[in-house]
Amino acid sequence: MAQAVLTPRNMALGGGGSTYITDANANFYNPANLMIQDREGDFSFILGTGGLFIDALQNYTDLEDQLENIQHHIDVYDMDKSAPGVVDTDRIAMINDQYPGDNTLSDNRARYDLTLLGIKWKNNERAYSIALRSRTSSSFRVGRGWYENTFISNDNARPLHNRSLIHRYQSLYEISFGYAESFQFLTGLTPRLDNFTIGIAPKFVLGGDYQNAEWKNHYEQQEGTDSLSHIQSFNYDASGDFGSSTSSYLRGMTLEVANSGSFSNNMANINGLGAGLDIGVTYLITLGDDLTAVQGNESPTKRSLRLSFSMTDIGFMSYASKEISMTSEEDTNTVASIPELQADESFTGARGQYSTFIQKFSNQDPFLSAERSYQNFSTLLPMALHGGMMLEVNRFKLMGDVSVGLTNNAFNSTKLISALGVELRPISFFPLRGGVQFKADELDFFCLGFALETRHWDFSVAAQLTQSSSTDQPAVAGVTLGAFQFHF
């Protein structure tokens, strides 16, 4: 999911909002929107906007069970409590849901964000902002073979039994400085009442815990024989608590001791430094008798068509604390059979679960045979492209967005993410929002939200829903809460 921000507004709209987010969170999505006047007043600030969501292997309609499921995705892995179990009825439903057709890898994630503070001030010519944000994402792909002892055939390859396990985790703490300005050269070239704005937001980034673990591990049936080809490779980079736990395990500690002595919830645990840039452009055409494109910030825009494009997280991170890198080149062996042991717990991407899951349910341990290095390493920030369009007519807004990550990382994948959202105001201060999100061509989430918006403050909430693994009923997959935003 190439979702640049996690706020009540954009969650309720299906995860989009590249044309709609105009407060200080626009720093991280499309800083050109800072110039758009959608509220009265020249100054606004955000105090505590946050949220979380999971895209899990299993989801539950019972709220108590689902809240426990969410906790398993964001907490440190506890061997005593384990992860949600997978019984036979759950297993069938989960396989049908997560591995449709001939798919052999799932695509899941968990994420939580907190915008601690955001300030924006604007005049007729330009806008400025500053925002502080913490965000953490965990993405994981689990091979179908961990839960089903079968080979999957397709038209283009040999029958495959996939027991790959990929987990990417990253925490980032950012301070961003936004600037936006109308580009009068382009604005003046058309006879329309329009406005072309450009925005830029450089940022300083601190890195928390980091892990990029990729064990490609699958079995292929050989033509004309009963033998199987076992193909595997392993690449691993970690820093912070992940690096500390892995190093302790490789020195001979049990995984339980290594994990309990390494993982904590200390947000002051800084392991890397980096810098980045978010940039964007927005083209706004006012409609009918709306003259705000030429009247500056005298009144909010009420009728417009907006087009936008942005690129986020252009930059890098360098990790230099408790770092470890491991590599095993691709190797192919001939074996007689696939492993019989199936996993009886759901992989959630909890910190410390990756190595424990392998030890529990595999007859191999890629950590023990890989070459090791204890040197600093660098990685790109989770760069992504975003585009969107919004039609605004008085109390009604209709918008569509697309996003795509340029690399596979903890925050994004290279799959195209699209969102459709609508906002309706039955009362001027009470917007109702709804949206849907698609991953590639499949429905991923549907979302709802509302807000209270007065002259000087806002309060907003949103929920993200997905289909339960075992029923057709919806399950709560995420929530966002916007503490008070103030406007002057």
Residue 407 lies in a domain: yes
Q: What percent of the chain has pLDDT over 90?
A: 70
168-222 pLDDT per residue, tens: 999 999 999 999 998 765 555 555 577 889 999 999 999 999 999 999 999 999 8
In-domain check, residue 269: yes
- 156 found inside a domain: yes
Domain that holds residue 380: 8-487
Over residues 355-411, the pLDDT tens digits come to 999 999 998 999 999 999 999 999 999 999 999 999 999 899 999 999 999 999 999
Our count of domains for the chain comes to 1
- Does residue 320 lie in a domain region? yes
Whole-number mean pLDDT of the chain? 90
Does 1 fall in a domain?
no
**378 within some domain:** yes
116's CB contacts (< 8 A; 6+ apart) are: 48, 132, 133, 134
Give the pLDDT score at 68: 92
d(C-alpha 201, C-alpha 23), whole Å: 13
Residue length, the chain?
488
- In DSSP terms, which residues pair with 232 in a beta bridge? 217, 331
Asked if residue 361 is part of any domain, the answer here is: yes
Question: What is the pLDDT, as a whole number, of residue 124?
Answer: 83
286-299 per-residue burial string, b: 16 or more CB within 10 A, e: under 16: bbeebebbeeebee
Tens digit of each residue's pLDDT (9 = 90 or more) over 308-367: 999 999 999 999 999 999 999 999 999 999 999 999 999 999 999 999 999 999 989 999
CATH number at residue 175: 2.40.160
484 band by pLDDT with thresholds 50, 70 and 90: confident
Residue 165's pLDDT is what?
A: 98
Q: Is residue 454 part of a domain?
A: yes
